[in-house]
Structures are given as structure tokens and as C-alpha cells.
């Protein structure tokens, strides 16, 4: 199985991955971090799938209906042609967003009479047990789950075992968790399809986009939206667990959670896109998480409901993606010391006090929370931690963590002018102290670059964030040199690695996708816009047809790796595209 052959659908309640064979190979219900109902992604033989495809098992060609998250897979059998339309309903109904835990699949004949097969074969979560099937008149109930699971269709139930049959007309299947379908199936499916299509196209029309790289930004915006869990406002890092960063690497992690580190970068992407509601909902989630943490003992990541019951476990009975285990649930990183998260929380919540649209969230208690987060960030600057890359070997003073502490103090010194002028001098002093420490401890004269760890020689792509955070002016020699050295040393076949040293799991063999986008932003910042465009154009040239991005890219074998899709990768593309593209005012 290749990630390039997968499409994603969802509705901000759940998501599913659909292979170009017509098989739903991954779907957790009723939410992103639930147990899988279809898990073929991590167990090709026994993980469960929902297949609609040609009887001969051939692959089809996938595309999204323009400016939507509705996926079409077209199968050409020579004398016959048909397509499968997959989507999760989402639209406004009765003044609220309607997002049922429902997967709709429509089979449409295009030419001739195709020989197809349909098989819905779910599993009871991580146990991999097969549920009991009970046939109704036009539906199948699957017993053994914590809620009603039902497939309703206008296809004869006798044909749903995977045996071939002729497609004689447009057919409909609705797979539901919870309340079953009660109204006529065909009219419901067609109405939901039309309403969902209009919703996504309307949402895209309200996106800001740059003049260049428009299709890529729109697809990244749509993919990013699918990572939003609307009930709480949380935004997860990825929709999967345990897809390895590279084959046989043991680098398999569960990313179906909300990382505080991602918050600032994600919120800023939605700001660039001009979508305020997603920013407002995520900000509310962050306020709840921070406000509920006693003594600001924040975890680096949380479940979509704000809980941190994330003990990591290995599921030995699951072979993993293409047999590359281990399969993990939970994430040990939730219990690490990652000092950068306090600064990132300040950056994420900072707009509350500079954007009048956040006036409802602005209060004395919110400001006090921001002050305390800043003080916490300042207090941990230079303290050894696991860092942005969540190293599992040893704690060291990380440059990126201190950079975020500096950013927190710097930003707070600005808004304190208006909200608490008596605190401003203290924040300025703290920011200057941290900056001096970074300049002294992180600068490596021999390398001509800042390094990832104090008094060390480890080149690290996270240093590029100095540019976007404006830690130094764009004509600063040390910043320019660092960008050039990292570009030269970590770039391989047009893709930037996080680092190239042994991190306890060996040397990475795949590039972390977002790092290339950081490089593009940094190159633009120091005036190398044309070089930035070359990097961006190269990265775009390797995109799969659906333009859905994973966590990593293997430049040697030219394939995507890691959890899929990855919110951080799409956020990076959005930032890089806006950065490298001219403004509309320069073209009109």
C-alpha cells in the first residue's frame, strides 16, 4: 500500500482514508482518536475494510470534486466505466452544522454494465474481532460495538459478501454509527451530496489564497479543515497512528491528538486563509486546556476532549503499515518536558489582545493566564528538555525551546503597554536576557550557524523559525549564514531533513515535510525569494495527484512516509505559498 494512493474524506467529526482500489482502509469511529472500525491500513489481512471496486480488483483514478472534500474514484474496465463517490455529510441545517457520524458511498455507472463487488468487513477496534452480522430488510447491523453500527443500502444484501455482480444503475450505501437512516435512501444520499458539495465550495470561496500556488493552497486548506474536531475546537496532528517515518525504522507514533506546539502555526495558517471561526474554536479549546492545568503543568499533547490519558502501548497482534510495526496507541511524549510549549501557547493566545474580533475572549482572567504562561516560558528558558523533536534519549538545553521563551516575552512586552504597563519593562528585560543566552550558547562559529542544542554542533531545521519569529533582522549575518548552512547541509534531493545525526533510532532516512516549507519562508525573509520559489516548485512537483501530504518524504525512493495526512505539512505549505507568492495588489 502506498500513501500516494489514498484519499481522505471527513466532516470534522470523523475521517476515513479511501484507497484507489475503492477500499476504505482506515476509519476510527466515532471520533479521530477512537478505535478503528476499518484498519486495513495497519493490518492488510485482518484489519477490516469497506470495499467497492471492480470484480477484477483493479485500481481506479481518484479526484476530488472541485473545491470540496468529496472524493471520486473512477474505474475503467474497457467496455465499461463506473465511479464511486465517497463523502461524509457536512452542511448547515437548522442554523447548525450537521456532521453525522455517517459515511455515504454512491456507485454510479458511466458506460456499459460493470462487474463490481462490494464487501463491508468492519472490526471491533483494536481487538480485531469480527462483529456479528444481522440482516434486516435493507440493512445489515454489526453487533459488538459501543453504539449502533449499520449499513443501509439499495443493493441486494446477498451481493454484499464480495461476490461479483452487475451494476445496472446508480446505487447508494450509507454506513452509520449511532442513529440509523430513517428516510428514503436515494433521496437522502442525493440531497446530502448536493448540500455537502455546496458547503465545501462555499467554504473555499471564503478562503484567502495567494495569486500563485492556488490549487495547492486550496487543497491544503480543505485537508487542514478535516483535522478540526468541531465539538471542542481541537485540531489533531494527523488522522492516523503508526505509519512509519521510513520503512523498518521503528519510528511509529500515534498522532491522532492535539499538540500544543502546533497551535500557533495552525492558527496563523487559518489567519492567512481568512477563516476566523476555526481560530476562535481552537483558541477556546486552548484556553480550556491551559485554564484547567493546575500550576500550568501543561502536557505537550491532549486528546480532542482535553484529556491526557495517553499512556503508550504497543499492539503486538497488529503487523503495521506494509508489515512495518510496531503499532502504537497513546503517546509517551505526553509526559515529556517540552519547554517550548509555553511560548507557543503565548503566541497562540496573543491575538486575543490585538484582534478586536476576539473581544469576547478578552478578560482580566485571560490576561492573567497569558502573563503566567509568559512567566513560565521565561523560567524554563535554557532548561534541558526533550525539545521540538521529542527525543527519547536525554534532556538537553534546546535552542528552539529557548527561542519560544524569547518570543513569549517579546510579544508580551508589546501588549503589556496597553494592558499592564508596569509589567512591560520586566518582559523586555527577560526577552533581552534570553536572546543574549541564545546568541552566546547556540552560535557555533566553526559551522557558521546556530545549532539545535546549546554548545553543540548539531544542525537543526527548527533554527529556521528564527526567521519567521523575527528573532533577528533579515540582514543579520548570523541569521543569513545559518539559513545558508542549514540549506546546504540538510537539503537532500530538494527536501530538507530535520537533522542528520543518530537520535537513538538511527539516522533519519526521510525528510520531515514541514522543514522544507520552513526553509522557503526563511529564504524569502533573507531576500532569496527566487531560490525559495525553486525549492517550493521542486517540492510541488513531487506531490501525489490528490495533493494530500504525509508527515515525511523519502527523497531516495520518492515516496511519502509517516502519518497521513499530516496537518503540520499542510500548514507549512500554506505559510510557504503565501510567503513565496506576490501579493494580489502587485498583480492587479
Read off the pLDDT of residues 47-106 as tens digits, 9 standing for 90 and up.
999 999 999 889 999 999 999 999 999 999 888 999 999 999 999 988 889 999 999 999
Residue 109 near residue 76, CB atoms below 8 Å: no
Q: Does the pLDDT of residue 569 top 80, yes or no?
A: yes
CA angle 452, 454, 455 (to 5 degrees): 115
Mean pLDDT value of segment 419-438:
94
Angle between helices 399-419 and 421-441 (to 10 degrees): 160
Global pTM reads 0.95
pLDDT at residue 123, as a whole number: 98
Band (pLDDT 50/70/90 cuts) for residue 424 is: very high
Band (pLDDT 50/70/90 cuts) for residue 504 is: confident
Q: How far is CA 346 from CA 94, 118, 306, 500, in A?
A: 36, 50, 18, 31
Band (pLDDT 50/70/90 cuts) for residue 556 is: confident
**Rounded CA separation 583/571 (Å):** 19
Q: Dihedral of the CA atoms 341, 347, 353, 354 (nearest 10)?
A: -170
Nearest to 129 by CA among 43, 190, 208, 65: 43
Band (pLDDT 50/70/90 cuts) for residue 501 is: confident
pLDDT at residue 77, as a whole number: 87
Residue 368 near residue 420, CB atoms below 8 Å: no
Mean pLDDT value of segment 282-305:
94
Q: What is the pLDDT of residues 131-184, one digit of tens each?
A: 999 999 899 999 999 999 999 999 999 999 999 999 999 999 999 999 888 889
Q: Does the pLDDT of residue 507 top 90, yes or no?
A: no
- In this structure, how many other beta carbons lie within 10 angstroms of the beta carbon of residue 2? 11
Q: Does the pLDDT of residue 31 top 80, yes or no?
A: yes
Least confident of 418-427, 483-492, 539-548: 418-427
The DSSP-derived string for 12-42 is SS-EEEEETTSEEEEEESSSTTS-EEE-TTT
**Rounded CA separation 488/325 (Å):** 33
Q: Does the pLDDT of residue 505 top 90, yes or no?
A: no
Q: DSSP code of 357?
A: G
pLDDT at residue 446, as a whole number: 95
Q: Does the pLDDT of residue 490 top 80, yes or no?
A: yes
Contacts of 548 (CB under 8 A, 6+ apart): 6, 7, 8, 219, 223, 564, 565
Band (pLDDT 50/70/90 cuts) for residue 526 is: very high
pLDDT at residue 41, as a whole number: 98
Q: Tell me phi and psi for residue 453, to 5 degrees.
A: -125, 145
Q: Does the pLDDT of residue 302 top 90, yes or no?
A: yes
3-204 shares its CATH topology with 206-581:
no
Long-range contacts of 246-251 (CB under 8 A, 24+ apart): 246/508, 246/509, 246/510, 246/552, 246/554, 246/561, 247/322, 247/324, 247/561, 248/324, 249/324, 249/505, 249/506, 249/509, 250/326, 250/505, 251/505
What residue ranges do the domains of the chain occupy?
3-204, 206-581
Percentage of residues in the chain having pLDDT higher than 90: 89
Provide the mean pLDDT of the chain: 95
Q: What is the pLDDT of residues 269-280, one digit of tens each?
A: 999 999 999 999
pLDDT at residue 536, as a whole number: 97
Q: Tell me phi and psi for residue 143, to 5 degrees.
A: -95, 145
Residue 344 near residue 268, CB atoms below 8 Å: no
Q: What is the pLDDT of residues 332-369, one digit of tens each?
A: 999 999 999 999 999 999 999 999 999 999 999 999 99
Nearest to 241 by CA among 256, 225, 229: 256
Residue 499 near residue 463, CB atoms below 8 Å: no
Nearest to 181 by CA among 143, 137, 220, 225: 137
Percentage of residues in the chain having pLDDT higher than 70: 100
Q: DSSP code of 131?
A: P
Higher pLDDT, residue 448 or 391: 448
Nearest to 252 by CA among 241, 261, 266, 262: 241
pLDDT at residue 263, as a whole number: 92
Give the chain's end-to-end CA distance (angstroms, integer).
45
Q: Does the pLDDT of residue 394 top 90, yes or no?
A: no
Computed over its alpha carbons, how large is the radius of gyration of the chain? 24
Contacts of 124 (CB under 8 A, 6+ apart): 35, 130, 131, 144, 145
Q: Which fold has domain 3-204?
A: Beta-galactosidase; Chain A, domain 5 (2.70.98)
CA angle 482, 486, 491 (to 5 degrees): 160
Cell of 352: 486575543
Is 1.10.3720.10 the CATH number for 206-581? no
Amino acid at each position: 500500500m502506498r500513501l500516494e494512493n489514498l484519499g481522505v474524506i471527513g466532516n470534522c467529526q470523523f475521517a476515513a482514508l479511501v484507497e484507489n482500489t475503492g477500499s476504505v482502509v482506515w476509519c476510527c469511529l466515532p471520533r479521530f482518536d477512537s478505535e478503528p472500525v476499518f484498519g486495513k491500513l495497519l493490518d492488510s489481512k485482518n484489519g477490516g475494510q469497506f470495499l467497492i471496486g471492480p470484480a477484477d480488483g483493479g485500481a481506479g483514478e481518484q479526484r476530488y470534486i472541485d473545491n470540496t472534500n468529496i472524493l471520486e474514484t473512477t474505474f475503467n474496465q474497457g467496455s465499461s466505466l463506473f465511479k464511486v463517490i465517497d463523502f461524509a455529510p457536512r452542511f448547515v441545517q437548522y442554523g447548525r452544522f450537521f456532521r453525522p457520524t455517517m459515511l455515504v458511498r454512491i456507485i454510479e455507472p458511466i458506460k456499459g454494465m460493470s462487474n463490481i463487488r462490494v464487501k463491508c468487513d468492519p472490526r471491533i477496534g483494536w481487538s480485531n474481532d469480527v462483529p456479528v452480522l444481522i440482516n434486516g430488510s435493507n440493512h445489515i447491523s454489526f453487533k459488538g460495538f459501543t453504539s449502533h453500527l449499520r449499513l443501509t443500502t439499495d443493493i441486494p444484501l446477498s451481493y454484499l459478501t464480495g461476490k461479483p455482480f452487475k451494476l445496472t444503475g446508480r446505487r447508494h450505501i450509507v454506513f452509520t454509527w449511532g442513529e440509523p437512516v430513517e428516510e428514503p435512501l436515494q433521496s437522502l444520499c442525493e440531497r446530502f451530496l448536493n448540500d455537502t458539495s455546496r458547503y465545501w465550495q462555499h467554504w473555499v470561496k471564503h478562503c484567502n489564497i495567494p495569486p500563485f500556488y492556488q490549487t495547492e493552497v486550496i487543497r491544503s486548506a480543505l485537508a487542514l479543515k478535516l483535522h478540526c474536531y468541531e465539538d471542542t475546537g481541537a485540531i489533531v496532528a494527523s488522522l492516523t497512528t503508526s505509519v512509519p517515518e521510513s520503512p523498518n525504522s521503528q519510528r511509529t507514533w500515534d498522532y491522532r491528538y492535539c499538540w500544543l506546539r502546533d497551535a500557533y502555526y495552525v492558527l496563523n495558517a487559518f489567519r492567512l486563509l481568512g477563516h476566523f471561526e476555526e481560530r476562535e474554536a481552537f483558541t477556546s479549546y486552548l484556553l480550556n486546556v491551559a485554564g484547567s492545568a493546575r500550576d500550568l503543568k501543561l502536557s505537550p499533547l491532549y486528546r480532542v476532549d482535553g484529556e491526557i490519558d495517553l499512556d503508550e502501548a504497543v499492539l503486538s497482534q497488529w503487523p503495521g503499515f506494509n508489515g512495518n510495526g510496531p503499532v502504537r496507541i497513546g503517546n509517551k511524549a505526553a509526559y515529556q518536558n517540552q519547554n517550548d510549549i509555553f511560548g507557543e501557547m503565548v503566541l497562540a493566545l496573543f491575538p486575543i489582545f490585538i484582534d478586536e474580533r476576539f473581544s469576547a475572549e478578552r478578560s482580566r482572567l485571560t490576561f492573567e493566564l497569558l502573563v503566567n504562561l509568559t512567566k513560565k516560558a521565561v523560567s524554563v528558558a535554557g532548561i534541558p528538555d526533550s525539545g521540538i523533536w521529542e527525543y527519547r534519549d536525554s534532556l538537553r538545553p534546546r535552542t528552539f525551546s529557548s527561542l519560544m521563551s524569547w518570543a513569549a516575552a517579546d510579544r508580551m512586552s508589546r501588549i503589556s503597554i496597553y494592558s499592564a504597563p508596569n509589567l512591560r519593562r520586566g518582559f523586555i528585560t527577560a526577552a533581552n536576557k534570553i536572546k543574549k543566552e541564545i546568541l552566546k550558547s547556540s552560535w557555533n562559529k566553526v559551522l557558521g550557524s546556530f545549532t539545535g542544542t546549546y554548545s553543540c554542533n548539531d544542525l537543526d531545521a527548527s533554527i529556521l523559525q528564527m526567521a519567521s519569529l523575527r528573532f533577528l533582522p533579515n540582514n543579520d549575518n548570523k541569521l543569513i549564514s545559518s539559513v545558508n548552512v542549514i540549506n546546504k547541509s540538510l537539503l537532500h534531493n530538494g527536501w530538507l531533513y530535520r537533522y542528520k545525526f543518530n537520535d537513538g533510532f538511527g539516522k533519519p532516512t526521510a525528510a520531515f515535510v514541514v522543514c522544507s516549507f520552513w526553509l522557503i519562508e526563511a529564504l524569502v525573509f533573507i531576500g532569496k525569494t527566487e531560490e525559495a520559489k525553486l525549492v517550493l516548485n521542486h517540492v510541488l512537483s513531487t506531490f501525489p495527484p490528490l495533493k494530500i501530504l504525509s508527515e515525511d518524504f523519502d527523497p531516495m525512493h520518492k515516496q511519502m512516509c509517516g502519518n497521513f495526512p499530516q496537518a503540520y505539512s499542510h500548514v507549512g505549505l500554506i505559510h510557504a505559498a503565501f510567503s513565496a507568492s506576490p501579493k494580489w495588489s502587485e498583480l492587479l
